[in-house]
Amino acid sequence: MRILIVGTGYVGTTTGLIFCEMGHQVTGLDLDERKITALQDGILHFYEPGLEELLLKHVQAGNITFTDNTKKAIKENDVIFICVGTPKQEDGSADLSYVKNVAQSIGKYMKEYKVIVTKSTVPVGTAELVAEWVKSGQKEKEPISFDVVSNPEFLREGSALYDALHPDRIVIGTTSEKAKVTMRKLYQGFQCPIVETNPKASEMIKYAANSFLAMKISFINELARLCDQLGINVNDVSKGIGLDHRIGHHFLKAGMGYGGSCFPKDVYALLQTAKMNGIPLTILEKVVHVNAEQTLYLMNKIKQGLGGDLAGKTISVLGLSFKADTDDTRESPSLVLIDNLLKAQANLKVHDPVVKLIEGTYPLGPHCQQLQSVAETVSDTDAVILCTDWDEYKQLDWMAIKLLMKQPYIYDGRNMINKAAVEALGFHYTGFANH
């Protein structure tokens, strides 16, 4: 089967390489020439552990090629995976313009039957829209047949390869028997359950999964505030409830809130779908609310600790990406906090092992500079804030850091270091009920 991946971002590139691993021939299509050139040279244009090695292997073996030639790519392939972005619009709904553009191009250039698979996260009803857009793009007198399948992706950034190779389930949403057979063949090497359903349910499964995980995070974050007040270690509570297999221990880590390119946008998009259908999802509304409060909660703790006024204080921020093992800063809680700190007129020194902020663009400026090492970053600062749970930050020599700092204050936005150990060194430590 000849597979075309449209959109070579996190999802598209990973998906393409997974299908190479399964023995298929893959083409990656993107409009961004720089990405295509890099990928064709075996260079990944984003940070994702383990993926570049796999890319190089399959590029060298000729199992995957990259192109920006939409017409040729569509004509030559049988199964087309749409993996383009679906960013948040101002009203919270998903922007489907990239998906529409691809669907219309497929209609325009297809010469024979295609299976069109939506891997991008798209609202309920999009499969029907994709079919309409494909038809509207068709110029032939005799329309060519095709099928649309919803096949959402559940990988996480930072562990994309592992997740895509070992999914908990594969969801296939289509009413076409012919397309079902193709999809089963494509995924026959996977050992997980396959959920076959209709496109609408499949689209809903993706939003429900992300929203449920976001809800777990907001639940534990709100509970952490109460635990803080009561002097309870919320990590013990997470462990104690997570061992109940009906609850599970994943996504119960309290901290400064969820970010990234998906949870925030997908929760908003589901809320928008609910609103449009007149069925409010009140729990989810609160999930968003609690998440937005988390950085403010930390901000207040920092203000309290440093004497109320942050103007003129020098603060170091460790971590810019929304989580460890990715260079993605989309909706990163770290950047939200940085914005708040700058508004409070603090001077910031920031660091990330992978993310390099662009010189001359916000938040960099006279009051915010990025430094290369942790030592330079924390030097002469009044407080250090841990914002991303990078391994590098879990292994810091706090004794050495204390000698470099002006004042020994640690704010742990990810509950990632041992409070007792740093307090024994003379630090004032504040986490999220990390007692």
Ligand X SMILES: O=C(O)[C@H]1O[C@H](OP(=O)(O)OP(=O)(O)OC[C@H]2O[C@@H](n3ccc(=O)[nH]c3=O)[C@H](O)[C@@H]2O)[C@H](O)[C@@H](O)[C@@H]1O
Ligand Y SMILES: NC(=O)C1=CN([C@@H]2O[C@H](COP(=O)(O)OP(=O)(O)OC[C@H]3O[C@@H](n4cnc5c(N)ncnc54)[C@H](O)[C@@H]3O)[C@@H](O)[C@H]2O)C=CC1
Residues in touch with ligand X (CB under 6 A) = 121, 153-157, 210, 213, 217, 251-253, 255, 258-260, 262-263, 322-323
Give me the count of residues in the chain.
Answer: 435
314-349 burial: b if 16+ Cβ within 10 Å, else e = bbbbbbbbbbbbbbbbbbbbbbbbbebbbeeebbbb
| Cβ-count burial 249-287 (b if 16+ within 10 Å, e if not) | eebbbbbbbbbbbbbbbbbbbbbbbbeeeeeeeeebeeb
Residue 170 contacts ligand Y per CB under 6 A: no
6's contact among ligand X, ligand Y, none, with CB below 5 to 8 A by partner kind, is: ligand Y
Cα Rg of the chain, angstroms: 24
CB of 122 to ligand Y, least distance (A): 7
Peptide bond preceding 363 in cis form (omega within 30 of 0): yes
Residue 85 contact among ligand Y, ligand X, none, beta carbon within 5 to 8 Å by kind: ligand Y
Kindly list the strands in the beta sheet with 368-370, ordered across the sheet, starting from the edge strand earlier in the chain. Answer: 368-370, 347-351, 314-318, 383-386, 409-412, 428-430
Judge whether 229 and 53 are in contact, CB under 8 Å.
Answer: no
Options 19, 47, 66, 98; binder of ligand Y; rule CB under 6 A: 98
Shortest gap between Cβ of 116 and ligand Y (angstroms)? 13
Q: How many residues belong to the site for ligand Y (CB under 6 A)?
A: 26
262 classed as catalytic? yes
Q: Is 94 or 298 the residue whose CB approaches ligand Y more closely?
A: 94
Identify which of residues 197 and 233 has a Cβ nearer to ligand Y in the complex.
197
**Applying CB under 6 A, does 35 fall inside the site for ligand Y?**
yes
How far is Cα 170 from Cα 172, in angstroms, rounded to an integer?
A: 7
CB 227, min distance to ligand X, A? 15
Nearest of 377, 375, 379 to residue 406 by alpha carbon: 379
Rounded to 5°, the CA angle 135-137-141 comes to 70
- Structure tokens, 193: 């359950």
160 is in an annotated binding site: no
- 126 interacts with ligand Y by CB under 6 A: no
86 forms part of the interface with ligand Y (CB under 6 A): yes
Residue 252 binding result from ligand Y, ligand X, none, given CB thresholds of 5 to 8 Å by partner type: ligand X
DSSP state at residue 144: P
CA 129, chain centre distance (Å):
25
Considering Cα of 272, then 274, then 279, then 281, what sign does the dihedral take? negative
402 binds, among ligand Y, ligand X, none (CB under 5 to 8 A by kind): none
Which partner, ligand Y, ligand X, none, binds residue 259 by CB below 5 to 8 Å per kind?
ligand X
Catalytic residue, candidates 83, 227, 262, 387: 262
Q: Look at residue 426 and give its three-state secondary structure.
A: coil
Q: Minimum distance from CB of 10 to ligand X (Å)?
A: 8
Q: Choose among ligand X, ligand Y, none what residue 83 binds, the Cβ cut-off being 5 to 8 Å by kind.
A: ligand Y
Q: Judged by CB, which is closer to ligand Y: 126, or 294?
A: 126
- Closest by CA position to 80, among listed 126, 23, 19: 19
Interaction of residue 93 with ligand Y, rule CB under 6 A:
no
Q: By Cβ distance, which residue is nearest to ligand Y?
A: 9
Residue 389 · residue 356 · CB < 8 Å: no
110 touches ligand Y by CB under 6 A: no
Q: Enumerate the known binding-site residues.
A: 30, 35, 86, 121, 154-157, 206, 251-255, 259, 265, 323, 330
Residues with a catalytic annotation lie at 262
Residue ranges for the known binding site for substrate are: 154-157, 206, 251-255, 259, 323
Residues that bind ligand Y (CB under 6 A): 6-12, 29-32, 35, 83-86, 98, 101-102, 120-121, 153, 155, 157, 261-262
